[in-house]
Amino acid sequence: MANCAVLYAGNDMQYAPVILEKAEERLRFSPLASPRDVADALDEAYRDQLTELIEKRILRRYKFTGEKFSQFGKKLCTEAVYNRLCDRIAKVELSARFLVCGFDQEKKRPYLHCRRRRIHRKLR
């Protein structure tokens, strides 16, 4: 990824390779991506992975995607079911830290971006 390095640690590192691959895909056409761009791509890939987990663990049973649940869940579910699903979604999390280090375009100024994520995703 660009001219930088990414280090990672946390309790859910089995997802790190997938997150890194998704971030690299986002940066595929950005050979001059800055460390900040890499950090942003990692954030987006991280959120995508979390959404995928929510869909697999909770929403698939009800034939929802994250987007469909956000748009139509309240209308299509009873209040009790909707609230129960929202509570379960709020409990899904990934624990991970990503450290992106590199230099600016002129290679004069070093950058360190620490992305600490313990995201709780609510779709209400």
What are 94-118's pLDDT values in tens digits? 888 888 888 777 777 787 877 655 4
Of 1-5, 6-10, 61-65, 101-105, minimum mean pLDDT range = 1-5
Buried residues in 43-65 as b, exposed as e (16+ CB within 10 A): bebbbbbbbebbbeebbeeeebe
Tell me if 83 is assigned to some domain.
yes
End-to-end alpha carbon distance in the chain: 34
Check whether 85 has a pLDDT greater than 60: yes
Please enumerate in sequence order all residues whose Cβ is within 8 A of that of 8, keeping only pairs 6 or more positions apart, or say none.
Answer: 16, 20, 96, 97, 98, 99
Task: Give the pLDDT of residue 30.
Answer: 80
Task: Give the pLDDT of residue 49.
Answer: 94
Q: For 13-65, what is each residue's pLDDT tens digit?
A: 999 999 999 999 999 888 778 788 888 899 899 999 999 999 999 999 999 99
Check whether 122 has a pLDDT greater than 60: no
Tell me if 124 is assigned to some domain.
no
Q: What's the domain range around 62?
A: 4-118
Tell me if 48 is assigned to some domain.
yes
Q: For the chain, how many structural domains are there in total? A: 1
Name which residue leads in pLDDT, 118 or 80. 80
Check whether 120 has a pLDDT greater than 70: no
DSSP, collapsed to helix, strand or coil, labels residue 112 as strand
- Give the predicted TM-score (pTM) of the model: 0.78
Single-letter residue type at 57: R
Sign of CA dihedral 44, 50, 53, 55: negative
